[in-house]
Amino acid sequence: MNQKLIIDIAKSLLLARWRQTLVAAVGVTFSIMMFIALLGFMTGLNDLLDGLILNRTAHVRIFKEVKPNPFQPADNQNEIGYNFVNSIKPSGNGLSLDNTAAILSALKNDSRVLGVSPKVTAQVFYNVGNVDVTGVINGIDVEAESKLFHFKDYVLDGNYLDLKNVPNSIILGKAAAEKMLANIGDVVQVTTPKGDRQMLKVVGFFQSGLQELDKVQSYCSLSTTQKLLGKPVNYITDMSVKLLDLTLAPKVAKEYSALFDTDTEDIQTANSQFETGSSVRSIISYAVGITLLIVAGFGIYNILNMMIYEKMDTIAILKATGFSGRDVKLIFTTIATSIGLFGGMFGLLFGFLLSSVIDQIPFNTAALPTIKTYPINYNIKYYVIGIIFSLITTYLAGLFPAQKASKIDPVDIIRGK
């Protein structure tokens, strides 16, 4: 009953001053709108930039570093003491992982693993006329690489599946292709470091967005690359593991390193810098949004102060007829928060509309072939935060005037007449 009465009185006071109320509410609407649009845009951008890295980076990479064997034959002779061996060189079958079949099946049975994409890397020369250009061919499992690391999003022309279906095919880095004047359907020649030559048919172009990378990197199927290198089908240099839960990466990496006796690297170690940029952009958006809200809060503060000044008589008579200071305070905080609520809700609506407009603005960049318009994040979280912020700021803005109103002494007002 009391609550309803207080809301009723607050509403009447608001409507009696609807013009000022509207100005105050518009201030809140504007700041919430900007907050929503800005955060949606900034986090959209963040997601995009994070995606650039996250989409294409293995959570755990299993590979073999070229390094000397810590266990030297001399150790067999003298197991207890020290052996001094100088100029140790790496040996064995180089970059290849051992026991790839066993590793693959172990990974497949690990419930934390979303998928694995095996890879063979080969250093080559692209033969352009009589000039040789250095390059790297990544032999990939086309389907796994597409599913886990969005390979097909970065293939510009041609069909990425041709890499698997057409024997001896290659998808060239865009910049490398330009250098070689190669078109789709052309045949290019590559030379391996061991001197073997191979003719490969161009079935597409790949653009990562990093010019330096696109100048050297090309893709072939696993088997084509293994053949190119003259290696057997179990020759794998690299395994990119994608986990269900990204945060487990460091732990899993360590585990695999011990289990498979190889080198591993987790995404957090490999890309420790990428989170910094994201958090800075978020902080900027929150700071701008909160600043706008504080400005709107001052507007509400002023209007309530004015209202209280005008409504001294009303406050005095309410108190004289039995409303307590607390009731009066509630009336004015209700006024403030309802401005916040309605202003905020319209702010959410307009923020959503503004976001949708930004979402339509064309945004073409060579680095991001799949992106056509500015990215927007419509996460409900920002809308919830927005409305909570607007309620809190308007409540705080109303609190001091309300406190003042609750302290008004009716005797002073009545005597003044």
Partner 1 sequence: MSEKLIETKMINKSFHDPITIPILKDISFSIDKGEFVSIIGKSGCGKSTLLYILSTMDTDYEGELYINNQLITGLKERELARIRNEKIGFVFQFHYLLNEFNVLKNVMLPGIKLGKYSLKEIKDRATEKLIILGIEDQALKMPNQLSGGQKQRVAIARALINDPQIIMGDEPTGNLDIKNTEIVFDIFQELTTKFNQTLLIVTHDIEFANRTNRIIEMEDGRILTK
Nearer to partner 1, 18 or 298 (CB): 18
For residue 344, what are the CA distances in angstroms to 21, 383, 384? 13, 10, 10
Nearer to partner 1, 89 or 417 (CB): 417
262 touches 255 (CB < 8 A) = no
Closest distance between partner 1 and the C-beta of residue 324, in Å?
4
Closest distance between partner 1 and the C-beta of residue 290, in Å?
34
Q: Residue from 46, 217, 314, 393 that binds partner 1 (CB under 8 A)? A: 314
DSSP code at position 99: S
Asked whether position 362 contacts partner 1 by CB under 8 A, the answer is no
Asked whether position 323 contacts partner 1 by CB under 8 A, the answer is yes
121 touches 237 (CB < 8 A) = yes
Closest distance between partner 1 and the C-beta of residue 315, in Å?
10
Tally the C-alpha atoms within 13 A of residue 297's C-alpha that lie toward its C-beta.
19
Q: Residue from 122, 316, 335, 405 that binds partner 1 (CB under 8 A)? A: 316
Nearer to partner 1, 14 or 107 (CB): 14
Return the structure tokens found at 363: 């945004």
Nearer to partner 1, 43 or 314 (CB): 314
340 touches 28 (CB < 8 A) = yes
Return the closest-CA partner of residue 391 out of 117, 32, 142. 32
Binding track, positions 261-300, relative to partner 1; x by CB under 8 A: ----------------------------------------
Closest distance between partner 1 and the C-beta of residue 326, in Å?
7
How many positions of this chain bind partner 1 (CB under 8 A)?
28
For residue 32, what are the CA distances in angstroms to 41, 298, 299, 333, 391? 14, 15, 14, 20, 11
Q: Residue from 143, 325, 349, 400 that binds partner 1 (CB under 8 A)? A: 325
Q: How many CB atoms lie within 10 A of CB 242?
A: 22
Return the closest-CA partner of residue 293 out of 282, 303, 305, 301. 301
Residues in the chain: 417
154 touches 201 (CB < 8 A) = no
Residue whose tokens read 């570093």 = 65
144 touches 132 (CB < 8 A) = no
Closest distance between partner 1 and the C-beta of residue 26, in Å?
23
User: Near partner 1 by CB under 8 A, which window of 33-41, 134-142, 191-199, 325-333?
Assistant: 325-333
Nearer to partner 1, 61 or 319 (CB): 319
- Helix, strand, coil % over all residues of the chain, rounded to 5: 55, 15, 25
Nearer to partner 1, 178 or 313 (CB): 313
Q: What is the spatial distance between Cα 267 and Cα 286, in angstroms, rounded to a whole number?
A: 28
263 touches 132 (CB < 8 A) = no
H or E element at residue 51? helix 18-54
Closest distance between partner 1 and the C-beta of residue 328, in Å?
10
Closest distance between partner 1 and the C-beta of residue 404, in Å?
15
Binding track, positions 1-40, relative to partner 1; x by CB under 8 A: xx--x---x--xx-xx------------------------
276 touches 259 (CB < 8 A) = no
User: Near partner 1 by CB under 8 A, which window of 92-100, 227-235, 314-322, 340-348?
Assistant: 314-322
Closest distance between partner 1 and the C-beta of residue 333, in Å?
17
Residues 373-412 binding partner 1 (CB under 8 A) are: 409-411
Q: Residue from 73, 195, 322, 362 that binds partner 1 (CB under 8 A)? A: 322
Q: Residue from 76, 130, 321, 364 that binds partner 1 (CB under 8 A)? A: 321
Q: Residue from 254, 326, 372, 381 that binds partner 1 (CB under 8 A)? A: 326
Nearer to partner 1, 13 or 202 (CB): 13
Q: Detail the DSSP E strand segments found in 252-388.
A: 263-266
Q: Which residues contact 51 (CB under 8 A, 6 or more apart)?
A: none
Site of interaction with partner 1 (CB under 8 A) = 1-2, 5, 9, 12-13, 15-16, 313-314, 316-327, 409-411, 414-415, 417
